[in-house]
Protein backbone atom coordinates (compact mmCIF):
# COMPACT_ATOMS: atom_id res chain seq x y z
CA UNK A 1 0.00 0.00 0.00
CA UNK A 2 1.43 3.34 -1.05
CA UNK A 3 0.51 5.94 1.54
CA UNK A 4 0.43 9.00 -0.70
CA UNK A 5 -1.77 7.22 -3.25
CA UNK A 6 -4.01 5.91 -0.47
CA UNK A 7 -4.64 9.46 0.74
CA UNK A 8 -4.85 10.86 -2.81
CA UNK A 9 -2.10 13.44 -2.26
CA UNK A 10 1.03 14.20 -4.26
CA UNK A 11 4.27 12.60 -3.12
CA UNK A 12 5.80 15.57 -1.34
CA UNK A 13 7.39 16.20 2.05
CA UNK A 14 5.10 19.19 2.57
CA UNK A 15 1.57 17.86 2.81
CA UNK A 16 -1.83 19.33 3.57
CA UNK A 17 -2.68 17.74 6.92
CA UNK A 18 -6.27 18.97 6.74
CA UNK A 19 -6.74 17.12 3.46
CA UNK A 20 -5.01 14.02 4.86
CA UNK A 21 -7.25 13.99 7.94
CA UNK A 22 -10.39 14.51 5.84
CA UNK A 23 -9.44 11.66 3.51
CA UNK A 24 -8.58 9.50 6.52
CA UNK A 25 -12.12 9.87 7.85
CA UNK A 26 -13.53 8.92 4.46
CA UNK A 27 -11.30 5.85 4.26
CA UNK A 28 -12.19 4.79 7.80
CA UNK A 29 -15.90 5.11 7.06
CA UNK A 30 -15.49 2.89 4.01
CA UNK A 31 -13.50 0.10 5.65
CA UNK A 32 -14.46 0.30 9.32
CA UNK A 33 -15.10 -3.19 10.76
CA UNK A 34 -18.57 -2.13 11.99
CA UNK A 35 -19.64 -1.77 8.37
CA UNK A 36 -18.78 -5.44 7.90
CA UNK A 37 -20.50 -6.82 11.00
CA UNK A 38 -22.63 -9.21 8.94
CA UNK A 39 -19.84 -10.18 6.55
CA UNK A 40 -17.88 -13.40 6.48
CA UNK A 41 -15.04 -13.95 8.97
CA UNK A 42 -12.55 -13.40 6.16
CA UNK A 43 -14.13 -10.06 5.21
CA UNK A 44 -14.22 -8.98 8.85
CA UNK A 45 -10.54 -9.80 9.23
CA UNK A 46 -9.77 -7.93 6.02
CA UNK A 47 -11.65 -4.88 7.30
CA UNK A 48 -9.64 -4.93 10.54
CA UNK A 49 -6.38 -5.24 8.56
CA UNK A 50 -7.36 -2.41 6.23
CA UNK A 51 -8.24 -0.20 9.19
CA UNK A 52 -4.86 -0.92 10.79
CA UNK A 53 -3.01 -0.16 7.56
CA UNK A 54 -4.88 3.13 7.13
CA UNK A 55 -4.05 4.07 10.72
CA UNK A 56 -0.37 3.25 10.14
CA UNK A 57 -0.37 5.32 6.96
CA UNK A 58 -1.94 8.26 8.77
CA UNK A 59 0.58 8.14 11.62
CA UNK A 60 3.44 7.99 9.13
CA UNK A 61 2.22 10.88 7.01
CA UNK A 62 1.35 13.10 9.97
CA UNK A 63 4.81 12.93 11.55
CA UNK A 64 7.50 14.79 9.56
CA UNK A 65 10.36 12.42 10.42
CA UNK A 66 8.33 9.28 9.79
CA UNK A 67 7.06 10.80 6.53
CA UNK A 68 10.61 11.55 5.37
CA UNK A 69 11.82 8.08 6.35
CA UNK A 70 8.92 6.56 4.44
CA UNK A 71 9.67 8.68 1.38
CA UNK A 72 13.34 7.70 1.50
CA UNK A 73 12.37 4.05 1.86
CA UNK A 74 10.17 4.37 -1.23
CA UNK A 75 13.27 5.74 -3.02
CA UNK A 76 15.29 2.70 -1.94
CA UNK A 77 17.02 4.26 1.09
CA UNK A 78 15.93 2.61 4.33
CA UNK A 79 17.15 4.46 7.41
CA UNK A 80 14.33 3.64 9.81
CA UNK A 81 16.19 1.00 11.84
CA UNK A 82 19.75 2.04 11.16
CA UNK A 83 22.33 2.92 13.76
CA UNK A 84 24.47 5.09 11.48
CA UNK A 85 25.70 8.32 13.03
CA UNK A 86 26.15 11.69 11.45
CA UNK A 87 29.57 12.65 10.19
CA UNK A 88 28.95 16.40 10.24
CA UNK A 89 31.36 17.86 12.84
CA UNK A 90 29.71 21.31 12.86
CA UNK A 91 26.31 19.82 13.51
CA UNK A 92 27.69 17.53 16.22
CA UNK A 93 29.37 20.47 17.93
CA UNK A 94 26.13 22.44 17.75
CA UNK A 95 24.28 19.50 19.30
CA UNK A 96 26.78 19.30 22.15
CA UNK A 97 26.33 23.02 22.81
CA UNK A 98 22.55 22.71 22.73
CA UNK A 99 22.64 19.76 25.12
CA UNK A 100 24.80 21.76 27.53
CA UNK A 101 22.39 24.67 27.29
CA UNK A 102 19.48 22.30 27.88
CA UNK A 103 21.13 20.92 31.02
CA UNK A 104 21.66 24.44 32.35
CA UNK A 105 18.00 25.44 31.98
CA UNK A 106 17.04 24.12 35.39
CA UNK A 107 19.63 26.37 37.06
CA UNK A 108 18.93 29.48 34.97
CA UNK A 109 18.24 32.72 36.82
CA UNK A 110 15.13 33.16 34.66
CA UNK A 111 13.99 29.67 33.53
CA UNK A 112 11.05 31.06 31.53
CA UNK A 113 13.31 33.26 29.41
CA UNK A 114 15.92 30.52 29.03
CA UNK A 115 13.29 28.01 27.94
CA UNK A 116 11.76 30.48 25.51
CA UNK A 117 15.17 31.17 23.97
CA UNK A 118 15.91 27.46 23.69
CA UNK A 119 12.48 26.78 22.12
CA UNK A 120 13.19 29.47 19.53
CA UNK A 121 16.50 27.84 18.62
CA UNK A 122 14.88 24.42 18.30
CA UNK A 123 12.06 25.80 16.16
CA UNK A 124 14.55 27.50 13.82
CA UNK A 125 16.55 24.29 13.44
CA UNK A 126 13.37 22.32 12.78
CA UNK A 127 12.33 24.79 10.07
CA UNK A 128 15.81 24.86 8.52
CA UNK A 129 16.17 21.06 8.31
CA UNK A 130 12.59 20.64 7.14
CA UNK A 131 13.16 23.13 4.28
CA UNK A 132 16.37 21.34 3.29
CA UNK A 133 14.63 17.99 3.51
CA UNK A 134 11.74 19.10 1.30
CA UNK A 135 14.17 20.24 -1.38
CA UNK A 136 16.31 17.12 -1.13
CA UNK A 137 13.35 14.74 -1.30
CA UNK A 138 11.90 16.56 -4.30
CA UNK A 139 15.12 16.00 -6.21
CA UNK A 140 15.65 13.16 -8.67
CA UNK A 141 19.34 12.99 -7.68
CA UNK A 142 20.35 10.05 -5.51
CA UNK A 143 23.08 12.15 -3.86
CA UNK A 144 20.37 14.55 -2.71
CA UNK A 145 18.48 11.60 -1.24
CA UNK A 146 21.58 10.62 0.75
CA UNK A 147 21.75 14.19 2.03
CA UNK A 148 18.05 13.92 2.89
CA UNK A 149 18.92 10.91 5.05
CA UNK A 150 21.37 13.12 6.95
CA UNK A 151 18.69 15.81 7.27
CA UNK A 152 16.36 13.21 8.78
CA UNK A 153 19.07 12.26 11.28
CA UNK A 154 19.44 15.94 12.19
CA UNK A 155 15.70 16.34 12.61
CA UNK A 156 15.69 13.34 14.94
CA UNK A 157 18.20 15.16 17.15
CA UNK A 158 15.99 18.24 17.13
CA UNK A 159 12.93 16.19 18.10
CA UNK A 160 14.87 14.54 20.93
CA UNK A 161 15.89 17.96 22.21
CA UNK A 162 12.28 19.10 22.04
CA UNK A 163 11.16 16.04 24.03
CA UNK A 164 13.85 16.62 26.64
CA UNK A 165 12.85 20.27 26.89
CA UNK A 166 9.25 19.22 27.55
CA UNK A 167 10.42 16.93 30.36
CA UNK A 168 12.42 19.78 31.88
CA UNK A 169 9.45 22.14 31.61
CA UNK A 170 7.24 19.56 33.28
CA UNK A 171 9.69 19.10 36.14
CA UNK A 172 10.11 22.85 36.64
CA UNK A 173 6.52 23.97 36.41
CA UNK A 174 4.43 21.01 37.57
CA UNK A 175 5.46 21.19 41.20
Q: How far apart are CA 26 and CA 30, in angstroms?
A: 6
In which band, very low, low, confident or very high, does the pLDDT at 175 lie, cut at 50, 70 and 90? low
Q: List the domains of the chain with CATH numbers.
A: 3-62 (1.10.287.110), 89-173 (1.20.1280.20)
Q: How far apart are CA 96 and CA 114, in angstroms?
A: 17
Handedness of CA 158, 162, 167, 168 (dihedral sign): positive
> pLDDT tens across 52-106, in order?
999 999 999 999 999 999 999 999 998 876 666 677 889 999 999 999 999 999 8
pLDDT for res 82: 66
pLDDT for res 55: 95
In this predicted structure, the answer to whether residue 169 has a pLDDT above a threshold of 60 is yes
pLDDT for res 155: 95
The backbone region for 171, taken as left when phi is positive above 0, alpha when psi lies in -120 to 50, beta otherwise, is alpha
Amino acid sequence: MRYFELFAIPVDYNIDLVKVNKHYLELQRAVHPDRHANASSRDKLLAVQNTAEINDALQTLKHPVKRAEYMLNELGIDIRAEQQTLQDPLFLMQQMELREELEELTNAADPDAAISHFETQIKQLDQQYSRELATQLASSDEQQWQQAADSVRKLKFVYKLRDELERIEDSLFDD
